[in-house]
Chains A and B, each alone.
Chain A
Amino acid sequence: MSAKLYLYPLWLRVWHAFNALFFLVLLITGISMQYSSPDLPIVPFELAVASHNIAGIGIVIAYVLFLLAMMFSPNKKHYKIQFKGLIGRLTKQIQYYVFGVFKKQEPPFPTTEAMKFNPLQQVTYVAVLFVLFPILAITGIALFFPELIVNNVFGVGGTLLTALLHASAGFVVSMFLFIHLYFATMGATFTSNFKSIVSGFHEAH
């Protein structure tokens, strides 16, 4: 039996669950609206619009609460990137995923209480949570109030640009979701990381 670390406090697990739920709704309804067709609706258009709006508001509120909780929690230390030697650490982690994992090598940056993310995870989470998510939230809110958007940007409609940025950022975050889910299978066992985000205890390799 490997050692267990309590890495995911209750507030974080609750946020993660709501975030996952809202994001799934946003993803499915977003695809349905983007490819809406009178003949083959994944979700009926009116329902897709209403659900996307509600889930969008929900995920933004959850995000704001997550940021507030982070401010008063030691959890924020995990998101502080040490840029010195970052490239080397990222290379090491990528080499592990591409080769080391098949040779049953030990992870180069094992999960500890001091640092629960490996360098690749850390950079990805920071990019998703603090770059892509704000882009999605700001463009999403702007599309709620299109009258606030600049009408014309160098001859292209401002609303169209906002929508393209929203859809593109949404696409990248959706790719992250799939990669996130796959890498979650690479814990101590196939399902241990999924259990961790429910129980809060991380099972080390």
Chain B
Amino acid sequence: MKKLKRSLFLSVFCLAILPYSLLAQQNEKCLSCHGEVFYQYENEWTGQMDKRPMNPFYHVDSTKMHLSVHKSFACIDCHSPEYETFPHSGELRMEEKYACIDCHGGDDDYAKYNFEGIEAEFQESVHYKANDEKFNCWMCHDPHGYQLALRENGPIKDVVSLSNDMCLSCHANKFQYGLLSDDDPKAIEDIHAWLPNQRNHFNKVRCIDCHTKVQDDILVSHKILPKAEALRSCVDCHSANSVLMESLYAHRVEESRAQSGFFNATILNEGYMIGANRNKTLNVVSIVLFGLMIFGLMIHFILRLILLKKK
């Protein structure tokens, strides 16, 4: 009986992990080259094993891939099955790639992400307007390693870092930037020289918090603005009505409101901003104390005037 139970358990376990092991096997073949810095193959002409460096643009970080939102996909779900033969046919580089909307558009399971809205915003962005269809989703989002940042409950600094790395993968990398421009990217520090406490801002605020227009129905705005329209006014963030409440902290604010009401300071525990982190209780206490003090001093002063004049 015990043996039967064990066999039954093993069978169920094997059936449960079967799709994943098949997937792993399928992807293993691709990753044996694309997941490595160097790849090897048998050269049919010379009969020798050749070792070549993998083009960094075609390299896939297998660890990131297994942590990404697309981890349950086989490579050939998105790429042509013809890639299974090596050497790959030269014509395959002409293959049209899927965009996010091709899989996620019109799907109720993904309605909360509003991919249609994202697509519309993206087409309004300075990137798309300047480059048309040459600029696609994958210029910023790595399909092989994409992780949800803002919707997860990780620290804000990790959200900021993940988000800003997307921008810097082009704007601080002349090889990637060169795919769309003949110029070198300008040094981020130089073009933001006007920004006080630059390092602090870069570590605590996402590029898109100043460089996009916030839209209510999309969590992460995709309408990247021309540089002349980016936020430059300090008080847009450093005030009680901080725009960061509608962008960087938007998701947390909504959750907090739903759970336990809304407190500025609680939400912004992770990031202090002058002007935005006001403790309402302390504000009231300070105003009352100050009022009492002025009242007391005035009474004292008036009594001094009246009583001393009499004498």
Counting CB contacts under 8 A, is A104 at the interface? yes
| B308 in contact with A163 (CB, 8 Å) | no
Interface of A is mostly: helix
Flag if A178 contacts B239 (CB, 8 Å): no
Chain B min CB distance to A99 (Å): 10
Q: A38-B233, A157-B270 are in contact. Are A164 and B279 (CB under 8 A)?
A: yes
* A36, A147, A162, A179 interface centre (most CB from chain B within 10 Å): A36
Expressed in whole angstroms, the Cα–Cα distance for A162 and B286 within the complex equals: 17
Interface residues on B, range: 35 or more
Chain A residues in 8 Å Cβ range of B308: 102, 104
CB distance from A37 to the nearest CB of B (A): 5
**At the interface, yes or no: B307 with Cβ under 8 Å from chain A?**
yes
Q: Give the secondary structure class of B's interface.
A: helix
CB distance from A30 to the nearest CB of B (A): 10
Contact of A179 with B297 at beta-carbon distance under 8 Å, contacts A36-B235, A157-B271 already known: yes
* Bound CA–CA A158/B275 (angstroms): 17
Segment at the interface with B among A41-49, A82-90, A109-117:
A41-49
- Shortest Cβ gap from A95 to chain B (Å): 14
Query: Of the candidates B234, B289, B293, which one forms a contact with A46 in the assembled complex, judged by CB atoms under 8 Å apart?
Result: B234
CB of B303 within 8 Å of the partner chain: yes
Among candidates B238, B271, B311, residue contacting A45 with C-beta atoms closer than 8 Å: B238
The CA-CA distance from A182 to B294 in the complex, in Å, is 10
Residues of B within 8 A of A160 (CB): 265, 268-269, 272, 277
Q: Whole-angstrom distance from the CB of B156 to the nearest CB of chain A?
A: 10
CB 8 Å contact bits of B233-255 with A (1 = contact, 0 = none): 11110111100000000000000
Q: Does A71 contact B (CB under 8 A)?
A: no
Enumerate chain B residues within 8 angstroms of A186, measured Cβ to Cβ.
304
Give the Cβ gap from B278 to chain A, nearest Cβ, in Å: 7
Q: How far is the CA of A157 from the CA of B233 in the complex (A)?
A: 25
Report Cα–Cα, A179/B295, bound state, in Å.
12
Q: Residue on A with the closest CB to B200?
A: A146
Q: Is the CB of A159 within 8 A of B275?
A: no
Residue contact B238 to A36, C-beta cutoff 8 Å: yes
Neighbouring B residues of A163 by C-beta, 8 Å: 272, 274, 277
> A38 contacts which chain B residues (CB < 8 A)?
233, 235-236, 239, 241
Q: Which A166-182 residues have a C-beta within 8 angstroms of B?
A: 167-168, 171, 175, 178-179, 182
CB–CB A146/B286 < 8 A: no
**Residues in B lying within 8 Å of A, measured CB to CB:** 196, 200, 233-236, 238-241, 265, 268-272, 274-275, 277-279, 282, 286, 289-290, 293-294, 297, 300-301, 303-304, 307-308, 311
Q: A residues engaging B (CB < 8 A)?
A: 33-38, 41, 45-46, 49-50, 97, 101-102, 104, 146-147, 155-157, 159-160, 162-164, 167-168, 171, 175, 178-179, 182, 185-186
Pairs A-B, 10 closest by C-beta atoms: A36-B275, A159-B272, A157-B269, A45-B234, A102-B307, A38-B235, A160-B272, A45-B235, A182-B297, A33-B274
